[in-house]
Structure 1
Amino acid sequence: MELGFLSPLFQQPGPWASVYLPPATATEDAAKQHELTVRSVCDDLAAQGADRDTCEALRQRLAGARAERAPGVAAFAAGGRVVLDLPLPTAPGRPAAHWAALPHTSPLLELMDDTPPCLIALVDRTGADFRLDAGTGSRPAGSVEGEDWPVHRTASASWSERHFQNSVENTWEQNAAGIARALHEAFTDSGAGAVVLAGDPRERREVYDKLPEEVRAVTVETEHGGRAPGSGTPRLDEEVERARHRLRGRRTEEILDRYRTGLGLHGEQAATVSGVPALVEAAQSHRIAALLISPHGSDLEREVWVGPDPDQLSTRRSDLQYLGETSPSPAPAGDALLRSAAVTGAEVLTVPEVREAPEGGLGALLRGTAPVSAQAR
């Protein structure tokens, strides 16, 4: 999971109100029940010390959440305004409210879809349309137009027609190269992890062959769908979902394999760390490349100390005071490390299987080390 969408939460100081709200029940008194739930979570925040303006901003925002079709909503507020609200693809088990120095983001690990988005390329002989699908429907992600003449062959065998057909071949070749370049750019810009290439067999194969190797490695071709209006099919949607989940599975196994192998290395070659003290030290020096988290790990709630700057985190209050932060605040380790990962661009991998997870539920691959697979050889 990439945490760029959380960046607004780390651009202003707290304290923060964090609310997780399930959908209203489909009953006759749903509106009344939703109103009571919202009032209850806001009262809970006030009892925890939240200021009136922040509680009121959340009350107004959450009052409209009942009309949303998402299974739930998460909202984060500070300084009298709602900074970020997110529709949740998975419903929270119950309403929850937190008032703390940091946004309480660790519940998102179970409630958000961390499967990478997929770039869909719908190609024909003259160009391509790109769409990005992150699991909640697709949205436009650009297009490219090539030459539209000549693009059709003829059946004649005369010299002039053969010359014309060579021109057709050249046009196809140029268009395929242009589409491949545009697809590479769209893939890089969109943050997608996989590509589904749809269209007529010849066109999509020519485009596929011209893609850079790193893009071909995550690209699948499908016979379902195309560029013409109305050519989308349920089978294309299914292919997109399969591509996203295949990539997620491969990425999970890759990172877990590197983590397991790295546990046996020491000193300068050490590529992994586990345990809150070692993770905090790695976060302080921006060395975390991938943070591994099990949502139910005991270390997520272990207390650490934080300041307003993401680099200000420590296992001991006195360490931050020594560095000049006169009023450090306690925070769960999970929230503090997620803040650091979001700010430094580290990848976050949710490990739902307890037997696969690091001990305590927290571990990391480090930057600045050679790939573990290479070291092991």
Structure 2
Amino acid sequence: MDVTFLKSLYDTPGPIASVYLDMRRATEDAPKVIELRWRALHRELAEQGTPAATVEAIERIVAEENTQRESGTLAVFAADGEVVHSDLLPGQPRAELARYAPLPHVKPLLAQRGQPIAYLVATVDRLGGEITCVSRGGDRRTIAVKPDEDFPVRKTKAGDMFRQDKQQRAAEEVWRINAKKVAHAIVGAVDDCGADIVVLAGDVRARTAVQEELSEPVLSRVVDAGGAGPALDEEITRAVELKRAEHLTSLVGRFDEQLTKHGRAVEGLEGVTDALRKGQVACLFLEDRPESSITLWTGPQATEVATSADRLRELGVADPVEDLADAALIRALAGTDGELVLLPPESLRAESRTGALLRYVD
């Protein structure tokens, strides 16, 4: 996943407060419940020495979101009395937390966002269809495809045999013309939003006709959801999760191959931090272990990261600071425009459950 959107967050010198608050609303008294949840996190921040002005800045965001009556997980990052980044994520947090530390604690945010998958949903009938594109960044766009021909769209069932055959052929030609227009719109939309999946739903004859008009590269991404209807959202979620799992499996396989055969990969914290300092990392692999307490040492610059304070001092960093390893690695990755892959525990055989694909080797 692309983590460059975090760059502005790292422009603010630490320490920085990171808060994840459950904003879900299951009952009418949800606003009061959310206030109680926030008070608990407020106390945690105060106990960790967070300046009052910084806590107050977070509290203003919490209050504002509480009045909006939105639901999900509120992630807030603040320093020096100002909120530097906030996001409302769908669903519940894996754990509510409040942390005041040298670096922002962004891994829970990234884990909840998930590996982004761009997808397209096309609901079609014999007159045209509606196409919805969702980019990897979450931008949504809807396109209505109206028919070039709208009569006749149904075959006749009885009457003069010659006339019946003629009208049936005419109806099939209208279907084909409209299906071709929908297919053309789908191909263009796939290019625009970079869709990894095309979920196709609607009238069975229309779906078949549209698929016959799609180019092979687009057809290979099609997931036929049948008539779908109320079950369409479930079909979309299933298709996205399957594609995400396939994508992660492919990346891990590529990492293993490069590590064992071609040498364009490194493993373990020592190798990964060395590669990050040189700007070599194209793709960083981390297992998502919320309980991990492994730490690294960092300096003021994003790529100043090492497994020991002495190593950074050798590199000219006067006052190294210690923080969670994943926070330090993700900052360095964002600063060098690398991609992040978060994996479930036990997915990676690499040393320290950490590895990287490299842009180049020494």
- Counterpart position of 1:107: 108
1:156-235 correspondence runs (5 A):
168=174, 171-172=177-178, 174-188=180-194, 192-225=195-228, 233-235=229-231
Amino acid at match of 1:10: Y
Offset of 1:16 from its aligned partner? 1.6
- Alpha-carbon offset, residue 321 of structure 1: 6.0
Secondary structure at 2:18 match in 1 = strand
Q: Secondary structure of 2:200's match?
A: strand
Partner SS state of residue 283, structure 1: helix
Q: Which residue of 2 aligns with 1:45?
A: 45
Distance 1:356 1:310, change over 3 A: closer
Distance 1:224 1:60, change over 3 A: same
In structure 2, runs of 5+ residues without a counterpart are none
Distance 1:98 1:206 in 2: 55
Give the AA of the match of 1:86. L
Helix, strand or coil for the counterpart of 1:73?
strand
Question: Any conservation in 2 of the 1:295–1:361 contact (CA below 8 Å)?
Answer: no
After superposition, the Cα gap between the structure-2 partners of 1:329 and 1:140, relative to the gap in structure 1 and judged at 3 Å, is same
Does 2:89 correspond to 1:87? yes
By how many angstroms is 1:5 displaced?
5.3
The one-character-per-residue Cα deviations of 1:139-163 (angstroms, maximum 9, x if unpaired) are 85231535523663676968x9899
Q: Aligned residues, how many?
A: 351
Query: What SS does structure 2 have at the residue aligned with 1:198?
Result: strand
Question: Displacement, 1:30?
Answer: 7.1
Say if 1:57 and 1:80, in contact at 8 Å, map to a contact too: yes
Looking at structure 2, the residues matched to 81 and 218 of structure 1 have their Cα atoms a distance apart, in angstroms, of 44
Counterparts of 2:184 and 2:253, CA distance in 1: 38
* Corresponding position of 1:362: 354
Residues 236 and 152 from structure 1, CA distance in 2 versus in 1: closer, same or farther, beyond 3 angstroms? same
CA shift for structure 1 position 57: 0.6
* DSSP 3-state at the match of 1:116: coil
Q: Could you tell me which amino acid in structure 1 is paired with residue 248 of structure 2?
A: T
- Indicate the residue corresponding to 1:152 in structure 2: 152
Return the match for 1:278 from 262, 271, 283: 271
How big is each residue's C-alpha offset from its partner over 1:309-328, in whole Å with a ceiling of 9 and x where there is no partner?
43343445466567666555
Structure 1 pair 86–32 and aligned structure 2 pair: CA distance change class (3 A): closer
More deviation in 208-217 or 314-323? Answer: 314-323
Q: Which residue of 2 aligns with 1:374?
A: none
Match in the other structure for 2:302: 310
Gapped regions of structure 1 (runs ≥ 5): 226-232, 370-377
Q: Is the 8 A contact 2:54 2:80 kept in 1?
A: yes
Q: Distance in 1 between matches of 2:141 and 2:263?
A: 40
Cα distance change, pair 332–197 in 1 and its aligned pair in 2 (3 A): same
Supply the AA of the counterpart residue of 1:280.
T
1:293 aligns with 2:286: yes
What are the equivalent positions in structure 2 for 1:257-272 lying under 5 Å apart? 257-265=253-261, 269-272=262-265
